[in-house]
Structure 1
Amino acid sequence: MALILCSILGCYPNGDGMECFGKDRYASLNFLTTTPVDSVQFYLDEQRICYGDVGHYYKLVVCKSLTTDADVASDFFSEKCMASEKEKTWTIFHCYVGKPSDGVVVSSKELRVKVFSTNREKIDIPLGSLGGLITNVFPERDSAEWFGYRDNPIRPFLDDFYSPALSMRKGCFNGFCVASLPMVDKEVCYDK
C-alpha cells in the first residue's frame, strides 16, 4: 500500500528528502553521425565534460536489423545491422551534464567537440547558453536527412530528441550543424 501511495503522491510529499534544480542548470549534448567515428570529447569553454566524474557519457549505435523489422541498439556496430542508403546506421555520442556533483556551469559561451576517427577533427562551435536545452551536433552531410525526420528516427532508445524537423537550427560551423530543442522537464530532482 505504501508503494502505491508513494507512486501516486510522490515519495516525499513535503519535499523532504528531495533537492530540485531548474532545467537551465543542465545540458544534454549529442553528437550524431552516419559516418564511422571512434570517439567524441565534449568541452564547455576549456573544461572537458562527460569525462571521469563530470557528467554522464555513452556511445550508442542504432540501426535497422537484418533479420527483423525492428531497430537494434548497441554500443558498437553490429553485423546484425542493415547497411543501405535507405536504412542509415546512426552513431550517437551522448553527454548529460549539470547535476550538482558535476561542478559545471552550463551557461558557457563555447561548446567544443573533438571527434576521433581515421582523421582527427576539432570542431569549435560557438553557442550561447546551453542550459535547459538538448543540443544536437552532426555532420553537415547528414543535416538534410536529420531535419527531414518528422518522428525521432532513434526511438525508443533516445526519446529526448522528439522531432528533428521541429528543432531550432543554430547554424553550421566547419562542416557540422547544430540544432536544439528545449528540455520538457522544468526541473530535475535528486534524493538529498
Structure 2
Amino acid sequence: MNIYKSLFLFFTFALTSCLETVDPDTYNCIDSNQVAAISVISTTQVSDVRAYTDEKILCKSNTELFFKKNKDDQFYHYSYNDEEVDSEYEDWFVKLGCYIKYNASLKSKDVFFQIKKANQLDEIKVDSLLKGKEHIYAISEQDTAWLFSFEISLLNDGNPDYNFSISSKLGCHGGYCFVTLPISEKEFCFDKNNENMKYLFE
C-alpha cells in the first residue's frame, strides 16, 4: 500500500473540509448532502476498492488509513507505516474507501462496490444502501464479531467516526455486512489540482 500518499490525500481532505472559508480560485467545494462515502474495514490486506455503474466508475480508492495496537491494549491508533507491524505482538486493521457524487438518479441504477484482495475479487450491489451525507462501511462477515465487540470507538482518541456501536446496520450479503454512520462535515473542499477528487465536480 502506498500509505504515505494515501494519508496525505486524507489529511488534505480532512483539513480543507473543516475550513469555514476557502479561496474559490484554489478550491472546489461540495455540500456533503451531495456526497456518499463508501469504505471497507478489514483485518486482512485490501489492495483496491471502487464503486461503479454499467456506464462509468463513480470513485476509486483514494483514502487509505492504517491502524494498529499492541495485543494487550484495548484501542487502536493511527499508524504511518503498515510494514512495521509485528503480527506476534500487534493487531491491525485497514480502512480503504472513496467518495461518490450522490444524486437521486443513482437509485435507478445498478451500483456495485468492488473489493480487491490478494487472490480475491468481490463485487457487491450497493445502490439501495447509498444515501447523501452518509458513510457506508463494508465489513467482511469474519470481521463482524471483532468489530461489534467494541461498545465505543475503536480508536484511543475516541473518534466517533469509528464508534460502530451507534451505527445503523443495513444487513449482510455477498460475504459482507454493511453499516452506516453520518458524515459530520457540512461541506467538503478540495484543491482543484487534486486529480483524485475531480469526478465529484463533473
- Tell me the TM-score normalized by structure 1: 0.66
The letter of the residue matching 1:143 is T
1:161 equivalent to 2:166? Answer no
Mapped to 2, the partners of 1:150 and 1:165 lie a distance apart of 5
1:45 equivalent to 2:53? Answer yes
Q: Secondary structure at the match of 2:91?
A: coil
Runs of 5+ unmatched residues, structure 1: 1-9, 99-103
Q: Secondary structure at the match of 2:45?
A: coil
1:89 equivalent to 2:98? Answer no
Mapped to 2, the partners of 1:107 and 1:162 lie a distance apart of 29
Runs of 5+ unmatched residues, structure 2: 1-19, 193-202
On the 8 A contact 2:113/2:126 being kept in 1, the answer is no
Rate the CA distance shift 1:124–1:70 in 2: closer, same or farther, 3 A: closer
On the 8 A contact 2:115/2:122 being kept in 1, the answer is yes
Cα distance per residue 1:91-135 (max 9 Å; x no partner): 11121233xxxxx64762344222222322222133433211011
Correspondences of 1:35-184 after superposition (within 5 Å) = 35-37=44-46, 39-46=47-54, 47-51=56-60, 57-64=62-69, 71-74=77-80, 77-83=82-88, 88-98=91-101, 105=103, 108-109=106-107, 110-128=110-128, 129-154=130-155, 159=159, 161-184=161-184
Identity across the alignment (%): 21
1:27 equivalent to 2:27? Answer no
Greater fraction helix: 2
Q: Secondary structure at the match of 1:142?
A: helix
CA-CA distance at 1:144 after TM superposition = 1.9
CA-CA distance at 1:176 after TM superposition = 0.5
Q: What is the aligned residue count? A: 166
- Tell me the TM-score normalized by structure 2: 0.64
The letter of the residue matching 1:146 is L
Quick check: which has more Rg, 1 or 2? 1
Alpha-carbon RMSD across the aligned residues, in angstroms, is: 3.6
Rate the CA distance shift 1:152–1:134 in 2: closer, same or farther, 3 A: same
